[in-house]
Amino acid sequence: MTREPYYVQSLERGLAVIRAFDAEHRELTLSDVARHCGLTRAAARRFLLTLTDLGYVRTDGRLFSLTPRVLELGYAFLGGLSLPEVAEPHMERLVSEVRESSSLSVLDGDDIVYVSRVPTSRIMRVAINVGTRFPAYATSMGRVMLAALPEAELEAYLSRAKLEPLTDRTISSPGALRAELDRVRESGHSIVDQELEEGLRAIAAPIRDRSGKAAGALNVSVHAARATVATIRERLLPPLLTATAAIEADLRIAAPRRR
């Protein structure tokens, strides 16, 4: 294969040595690495000892293995990712599994703002795009984020929010909403049954950052004709919680680190 003039073969070989280690090969001998990477033993030894000096590899004199420091190689990329960028691949897997649309939102004042969406079909009269806003009190994502607010902030919200009935099912009194938010806080998820729009049901769970604060919320929405509330809780809640847990794990890596 012809290489460009700028190509640094030693860098390619050094990265190949790191990639030689995986879940099935956590410890390798010098000969193992040389064979796996197509290197001479002398070259493999130089790479391994350099990586050892840099702290990316450890050795007991015979076996070599990676150290946790190799995670730093991914931090530069992950550290620059926003919440939507971190969440998107997990949302795509979730939608592929449940065959229903999923959205990601953040709380902005008294509204939720959609920051990412993976649709399967259009089930709402109002088109949802990034930047679409809805009142938090009438949405599943809004409720999980409201439920996660500190007590003083929640009380301030309940005292000022205009809880207008958007459908005949919408919770529109502060007392009833407070009781519902208490249930959401205890269960860790929210199901809204045709309160934002007739025919629309949705389930949401919060996405928490490293400090435990709700950085956003993830939902799955479904047409009421296709799933009852009980079906949503049974069929959609487990994969939704799996997705939010995976996003939170990636956020812990992507969060800026103190130097």
Q: Is this model's pTM higher than 0.75 or not?
A: no
User: What is d(CA 19, CA 66) in angstroms, rounded to the nearest whole number?
Assistant: 10
User: What is d(CA 152, CA 24) in angstroms, rounded to the nearest whole number?
Assistant: 51
Q: In the CATH hierarchy, which fold is given to the domain comprising 9-76?
A: Arc Repressor Mutant, subunit A (1.10.10)
Residue 123 has a pLDDT of 56
Residue 211 has a pLDDT of 84
Query: Under CATH, domain 80-254 is a member of which superfamily?
Result: GAF domain (3.30.450.40)
pLDDT digits 0-9 by tens, 75-98: 555 455 578 888 999 999 999 999
Task: Decide the pairing of beta strands 28-29 and 63-66.
Answer: antiparallel
User: What is d(CA 87, CA 60) in angstroms, rounded to the nearest whole number?
Assistant: 39
The residue-averaged pLDDT of 10-36 equals: 92
Give the contacts of 196 (CB within 8 A, at least 6 positions apart): 134, 138, 139, 166, 167, 170, 202
Residue 1 has a pLDDT of 60
pLDDT digits 0-9 by tens, 150-204: 999 999 999 999 999 999 999 999 999 999 999 999 999 999 999 999 999 999 9
The tokens for 4 are: 């460009």
Give the contacts of 158 (CB within 8 A, at least 6 positions apart): 174, 177, 178
Average pLDDT value over all residues in the chain: 88
The residue-averaged pLDDT of 24-45 equals: 94
User: What is d(CA 143, CA 4) in angstroms, rounded to the nearest whole number?
Assistant: 55
Per domain, the residue ranges of the chain are 9-76, 80-254
Predicted confidence (pLDDT) at residue 63 exceeds the cutoff of 60:
yes
Please indicate whether residue 72 or residue 169 has the higher confidence score (pLDDT).
169
The residue-averaged pLDDT of 44-53 equals: 95
